[in-house]
Amino acid sequence: MKFIWASDTHTGRVRENNEDAVHPQSDGYSTQPLLAAVADGLGGARYGEVASRIAIDTAVEARGRPWRRVRAANAAILETVLEQPQFVGMGTTLTLALLDPAGSIELGHVGDSRAYLLRDEEFRRLTVDHTHVQEEIEAGRLTEEAARTHPQRSYLTRALGFTQDLAVDIERSDLRLGDRVLFCSDGLTSMLTDLRIADILGDGPPSVTSWGLIEAANEAGGVDNVSVVVIAVTASTNPDDA
Ligand code: CA
């Protein structure tokens, strides 16, 4: 089992800064365990892009299971705020996974960035959003479709940078040949339905579908920064076979 991946991040058509960050930052392939992540910085003028960059860099350098790396990223942001008070109020989401070529994926997740798994016709969300609207969905007071365009859809109930005692979601799944794994920021999922995302994701190798998702989000309005990491689980290392 091998991994072929592509990633892209774009400011979108409305915002002036891109506060998202992704890992890996360039396309590639590997037969080794792969770390993939997306972070969506919070705080606008309060340096959201600083928070998402610290989160990704710290999590990549840290050792151990994904949830430990997320906790390390959180501690690094809190430390930065303590040392440089101009950064007070910055925070970020972080959805990070370790993919093992033996056939598994383990996630550590906080916030409203997402991971998805596309297997044949089944498109499954691997993460649960830590948002107010998600709580409303679970309480039966809001539909998924209404939540997607809800004015308060970005109101997070959990994020990195605000408390030492951060709860990190852990999720695991098996991986099979032919699977596609997607990591994305809410700039994608607020613009496109899951159905549309699955359609684009399944239609070509990561180098094509990754940019295809960014373009579709921008065509749908591009109101937020949009970031994706697309990974094909394959038997070949030829990107055209993915
Ligand atoms: Ca966002």
Cα gap 48→50, rounded to integer Å? 5
Answer yes or no: is pLDDT of 238 > 90.
Answer: no
Model pLDDT for residues 121-136, shown as the tens digit of each residue? 999 999 999 999 999 9
DSSP state at residue 192? S
Q: 3-class SS at 153?
A: coil
Q: What is the band of 46 on the pLDDT scale with cuts at 50, 70, 90?
A: low
Neighbours of 242 (CB within 10 A): 26
Q: Among 39-48, 49-58, 105-114, where is mean pLDDT lowest?
A: 39-48
Cα gap 127→107, rounded to integer Å? 8
Answer yes or no: is pLDDT of 43 > 80.
Answer: no
Model pLDDT for residues 126-184, shown as the tens digit of each residue? 999 999 999 999 999 999 889 988 988 889 999 999 999 999 999 999 999 999 999 99
| Span from the CA of 46 to the centroid of ligand 1 (angstroms) | 15
The residue ranking higher by pLDDT, 148 or 41, is 41
| Span from the CA of 93 to the centroid of ligand 1 (angstroms) | 9
Q: Is the dihedral of CA 74, 183, 127, 218 positive or negative?
A: positive
| Span from the CA of 101 to the centroid of ligand 1 (angstroms) | 30
| Span from the CA of 130 to the centroid of ligand 1 (angstroms) | 13
Cα gap 152→116, rounded to integer Å? 23
CB–CB of 35/98 below 8 Å?
A: yes
The pTM of the full predicted model, rounded to 2 decimals, is 0.96
